[in-house]
Structure 1
Amino acid sequence: MARSDVSGRPSTALRRVLLPLALAQFICSFAGSNMNVMINDISTDLDTTVQGVQVAITLFLLVMAALMIPGGKLTERYGRKRCFVVGLTVYGVGALLSAVSPGLGTLILGNSILEGVGTALLIPPVYILTTLLFTEVTSRARAFGAISAMGGVGAAAGPLIGGLITSAISWRAAFVFQALVIAVIVLLSRNITDPLPANPEKPFDTVGATLSAVGLVLVVLGILAADNNAWLMVGLLVAGGLVLVWFFLWIRARERAGKEALLSIRLFHNRTSNLGLVTQNIQWLMLLGVSFTVAAYLQAVRGYDAIQTGVIFTAATVGLLLSSLGAERFAKRRAQRTLIMLGFVVTIAGVGVLIAMVGGSSSPWAFAPGLFLIGFGLGGMLTPSVNVVQSSFGDELQGEISGLSRSVSNLGSSLGTAIAGTILVAGLTEHAEAAALVVLAAVGVLGLVAAALLPRRHAEPAATTA
C-alpha cells in the first residue's frame, strides 16, 4: 500500500482507509451528546425522569471509559481490524435495540451497555491503525487531525443533528440513523488491511481489566450519588480510589514478575504523556459537561423543543469546525503546548461569556457567542493533545497508550455529564445552570495549568519513537 506522496499527503489508498476510521470516531462522539436534546422526549415517551435519562447517558460514557483499556489490549490478541468490525456490529445491534426500547431498562441495555461495549472495542483500533498505517510524520499528523476533528464535530453537532431528527421524525429515528452510519462504516472498512498479525496466544490480564473497570465505575457512580446521599458518594469515591490503587499495584507486580500486564508501567513514567492525558480528560469533560448543562436547561427551564435546542448548539459546532479546519495551519506556526493553552483560555472565556450573556437576556441568541468560543477553543486543542500523547511512545506501545488515551477521554466525558447532571438535578433553575458552568470553568483552569507544565519543545507530532 502506498504510504504518501512527496508532500507528505496520504495516498489515495490511505485516504480510503481514513474515511471509515474518522466516521467511526464521529458516530461514537455523536452518540455521547445527541441524547442531550432528547431528554424531554425520551423521559415522556418512556415514562421516566430527567435524572433517569442522565443516568443512561452517563452509563454509556462510563462503559466506554471502563472498557477502553481492555479493548485496546484485545486488539493485540485478536487483531485490530477484527476488533474494529466486531465493535461496529455490537454497536449497531445496540442502536437498533435502543430504537425499539419500550422502557428505560431496555434503553440502558441497548445504548448504555451494547453501544458502550461496541465503542470500547472499535475506538482503540481507530488510533492504533492510524499510527501503524500512516508511517510518515506529516501524513500521520493530518490523519490524527482529521479523526480528532470528526470526534469533536460529532460531539458538538450531536445536539443539532439529534434535534433535527427528533423533531422531524422521533428520538427513536436518531438511533436508526446511528445504525445506518455503522452499516456504511462496515462496508467502507473492507479497504482496511491490518498491518500486524494477531497473536492469539498473547495472555490477557483479566484481573487487571476487572480492577480498572470496577475502579472507574465506582468513581463515576460516586459523583452521580452526590445529589442523593453524601455518605454514599464519599464511600463510592473512596472505594473507587482504593480499587484503582490496587490496579496500579497489581500491574506493577505482574510486570516485575515478567508477566503480561493490562498496561505497562512505562506509560505512567512519561511526564509529557501524563500531562497530555490530563488535558484530554478535561477537554472532553468540558465539552460534554457544557453540552448536557445547556441542553437540560433549555428544555427543562426554558421549555425549548429538540430542534430549538439543537439549533442553538450550531454556534459551538461552527466554532469547532473552524478551529479544527485550521488545526494544521496553526500547528505550523505554534507549538502544541501553546495551542493547548490557548484552547483552554478561549474555552474558559467562552464559559464566562455564556454565563454573563444568558443571565442578562432571555433571547436564545444570547447563547451563541459563548458557545462559539467554547467550540472554537476545544476544536483548536483536541488534535494537539492527542498528538502529544500518541507521539510519546513507539509502535510497540500504541495498543496500550491508545486504549489508555481513549479511556481517559471518555472518563472525562462521563465525569462532565455526571458533574453537570448532579448539580442540575439538585435544582433545574438558571442559578443551577450557572453553578454547573462555573464548576466546569474551574476544572478548565486545572487543564490550563497542566498544559502550561508541558515541555516547550516536544517530539514531532505522532512520531514513532519513544
Structure 2
Amino acid sequence: MTASTPEVSRATARRLIAPLALAQFICSFAGSNMNVMINDMSRDLDTTVQGIQISITLFLLTMAALMIPAGKLTDKLGRKRCFVLGLAIYGVGALVSAAAPGLWALIIGNSLLEGVGTALLIPPVYILTTIYLSDIATRAWAFGIISGLGGIGAAAGPLIGGLITTAISWRAAFLFQALIIVIILLLSRRLTDPIPPQPDRPFDTVGAVLSALGLFVLVLGILAADNSVPLMVTLVIAGVVILVLFFWWIRRRERTGKEALLSTSLFHNRMSNIALVTQNLQWVLLMGTSFTVSAYLQVVRGHNAIQTGVIFTAATVGLLLTSLLAGRLAKRFSQRSLIITGFVLCVPGVALLIWLVAGGSNSWSFVPGLFLIGAGLGLMLTPSVNVVQSAFPEKEQGEISGLSRSVSNLGSTLGTAIAGTILVANIDAGGTAYGIAMAVLGILGVVGLIAALLLPRTKVPAPR
C-alpha cells in the first residue's frame, strides 16, 4: 500500500492507526507521568528532586538525540521492524524501572532503555501513517488522532500517574506502561511494511554520533546551570560547536554524492522551518509547565501525587475539548490560524499561572491557567505536525518524520531542563523560583506566537 494505491476506508484507517496512535500516547504519557511522583520516588530511591529531574530530562533527551538517526534507520531495517523493536526495548525499560533499587537503575530503565525504545518506534508511527493513507485529507485526520493522543498522554500523565501512585505505588505506573506495550504489540500484528527495507542502504554513522552528541552536550549544559555557571557555558558552547560540525559534515557528504544522515534540503522549505519552531515551543510549554507546576505543588506546597494529578485535570480537559473540535475548526479556519490561536491562549494561561498563584494559597488558582494552556495546545499540536509532514513527498517522509519528532522531543527536553533547572536550583525560594521559571516559559510562548504569525498563508489540507 503506497501513496499511489486506492484510498482506504475510514474503518480500515482506524484499524491501521490504532496501535500507532496508542504508541504515541504511551510515549508522551511516559514523559510527564513521573512529574507527580517526585516526592515518592526521591524518598524510595534515596535521591533528590534534582535526581528525578535529571532522570526525566535524560529520558526526553535520549528520545530527541536519537530520533533523527532512528528515522533514517527505518529505511535500512524496515518501518515495522523498527516499530516492534522499539516497543520491545521500551517494555524492558519499563520493567527495569518498576524494579529499580536506586536512581542508577531508574536512569538505565527509564532514561536510556525507554528513551531508545521511543526513538525507534515513534518515526515509524508517522512514516507508516503517511504511506498507508494516500488521501491527503484522511492522512491529516490520522495525524490529528495521533498527535491528539500524544498531547492527551502528556497532559493526562500527571493525573493517571497520580492515581496509580496513590492507589498502589509509583512502580505500578511503569508496570502500566509495560501492559500498554503488550497491547500495542498484539494490535500491531496486522501491520505490514508497505515498502521493503533496504539493508544495503548506507548509514551515516559519523553524522548520527555528531547529532546525538551535540544535543546531549547542549542540554547537559543547561542542567549544569545550578552547579557551575562556567561549566554550563562551556558545555553549551561545546554542544553548539558539535552541532555546527554536524551540519558541516552532512553538507560535505552531500557535495561528494554520499547519503547523509539528514538532507539539508529539508531546511529549504520556509513553511516547514517555521512550523518546526512552533512544534518545538509547543512542547517546551507543555512539558515545562507540567514539571514546574508539579514540582512546586509537591515540594513547596506539600501536595501528594493524586492531589497534584487532579489539579492537572484542568489542562487535560482543555486539551480534550479543543482536540475534539480541531477537526471541525480545521474545515473553517487555516492551519496557520489555529496555531496562532493556540499560542494566543497559552501565553495568557502562563500569565494566569503566575498572577493567580502569587495572589493566594488556594490550589485551585492553578486551574484557569492550566485550562487555557491545555486548550491552546489542543488547537495547535495537530496543525503544526500536519504543516510539516505535508510539505514533503513520500520519499522524504523517513527523514522529515525523524526531524519533526526530534524537534518536538527536544522541546520537551528543553522545557523540563530550562524551567526545571530554574525551579530546582532555587527551590528554597519557593514562589519566587516558580514565578521566574514560569515567566521564562511565557517569554518562549511569545516567541512561538511570533513564529506562528510568520507562517505563510499557504493552504494546507485539513482533516475531513
TM-score by length of 1: 0.97
Distance between the aligned counterparts of 1:457 and 1:66, measured in 2? Answer: 31
Q: Which amino acid aligns with 2:370?
A: L
Map of 2:283 onto structure 1: 284
- Conserved? CA contact 2:66–2:212, under 8 Å: yes
Map of 1:457 onto structure 2: 458
What's the offset of the Cα at 1:461? 4.8
Map of 2:447 onto structure 1: 446
Q: Does 1:127 align with 2:126?
A: yes
Structure 1, residues 209-256: CA drift from partner, whole Å, max 9, x if none?
A: 000000000110111011111111111111100110110010011011
- Conserved? CA contact 2:330–2:462, under 8 Å: no
Q: Which amino acid aligns with 1:69?
A: I
Q: Which amino acid aligns with 2:229?
A: A
- Conserved? CA contact 1:2–1:14, under 8 Å: no
What's the offset of the Cα at 1:330? 1.0
- Conserved? CA contact 2:331–2:462, under 8 Å: no
What's the offset of the Cα at 1:460? 2.5
Distance between the aligned counterparts of 2:338 and 2:314, measured in 1? Answer: 21
CA pair 297-393 structure 1, distance change in 2 beyond 3 A: same
Distance between the aligned counterparts of 1:2 and 1:350, measured in 2? Answer: 42
CA pair 389-363 structure 1, distance change in 2 beyond 3 A: same
Within a 5 Å distance, the mapping from 1:288-299 to structure 2 comes to: 288-299=287-298
- Conserved? CA contact 2:8–2:133, under 8 Å: no
Distance between the aligned counterparts of 2:375 and 2:459, measured in 1? Answer: 24
Distance between the aligned counterparts of 1:392 and 1:11, measured in 2? Answer: 23
Q: Does 1:87 align with 2:86?
A: yes
Map of 2:202 onto structure 1: 203
Q: Which amino acid aligns with 2:442?
A: A
Map of 1:186 onto structure 2: 185
Distance between the aligned counterparts of 1:165 and 1:132, measured in 2? Answer: 37
Map of 2:175 onto structure 1: 176
Map of 2:334 onto structure 1: 335
Q: Please say which of residues 20-29 and 346-355 is displaced more in the overlay.
A: 346-355
What's the offset of the Cα at 1:13? 2.5
Map of 1:376 onto structure 2: 375
Map of 1:162 onto structure 2: 161
- Conserved? CA contact 1:131–1:398, under 8 Å: yes
Q: Please say which of residues 424-433 and 372-381 is displaced more in the overlay.
A: 424-433
Q: Does 1:20 align with 2:19?
A: yes
Distance between the aligned counterparts of 2:316 and 2:211, measured in 1? Answer: 33
Map of 1:357 onto structure 2: 356
- Conserved? CA contact 1:391–1:461, under 8 Å: no
What's the offset of the Cα at 1:12? 2.3
Structure 1, residues 170-195: CA drift from partner, whole Å, max 9, x if none?
A: 00000000000000000000111111
Q: Please say which of residues 28-37 and 11-20 is displaced more in the overlay.
A: 11-20
CA pair 111-330 structure 1, distance change in 2 beyond 3 A: same
Q: Which amino acid aligns with 2:416?
A: T
Q: SS of the counterpart of 1:113?
A: helix
Structure 1, residues 67-112: CA drift from partner, whole Å, max 9, x if none?
A: 0000000000010000000000000000000000000000000000
Q: Which amino acid aligns with 2:72?
A: K
The CA RMSD measured in Å over matched residues stands at 1.6
Distance between the aligned counterparts of 2:112 and 2:49, measured in 1? Answer: 19
- Conserved? CA contact 2:339–2:384, under 8 Å: yes
Distance between the aligned counterparts of 1:210 and 1:457, measured in 2? Answer: 36
- Conserved? CA contact 1:2–1:11, under 8 Å: no
Distance between the aligned counterparts of 1:272 and 1:242, measured in 2? Answer: 27
What's the offset of the Cα at 1:458? 3.3
Q: Does 1:228 align with 2:218?
A: no
Within a 5 Å distance, the mapping from 1:15-164 to structure 2 comes to: 15-164=14-163
Distance between the aligned counterparts of 2:460 and 2:258, measured in 1? Answer: 31
Structure 1, residues 115-174: CA drift from partner, whole Å, max 9, x if none?
A: 000000000000000100011111111100000000000000000000000000000000
Q: Which amino acid aligns with 1:292?
A: F
Distance between the aligned counterparts of 2:349 and 2:169, measured in 1? Answer: 32
TM-score by length of 2: 0.97
Q: SS of the counterpart of 2:195?
A: coil
Distance between the aligned counterparts of 1:423 and 1:227, measured in 2? Answer: 8
CA pair 330-205 structure 1, distance change in 2 beyond 3 A: same
Distance between the aligned counterparts of 1:317 and 1:88, measured in 2? Answer: 26
- Conserved? CA contact 2:2–2:131, under 8 Å: no
Q: SS of the counterpart of 2:322?
A: helix
Q: Which amino acid aligns with 1:270?
A: N
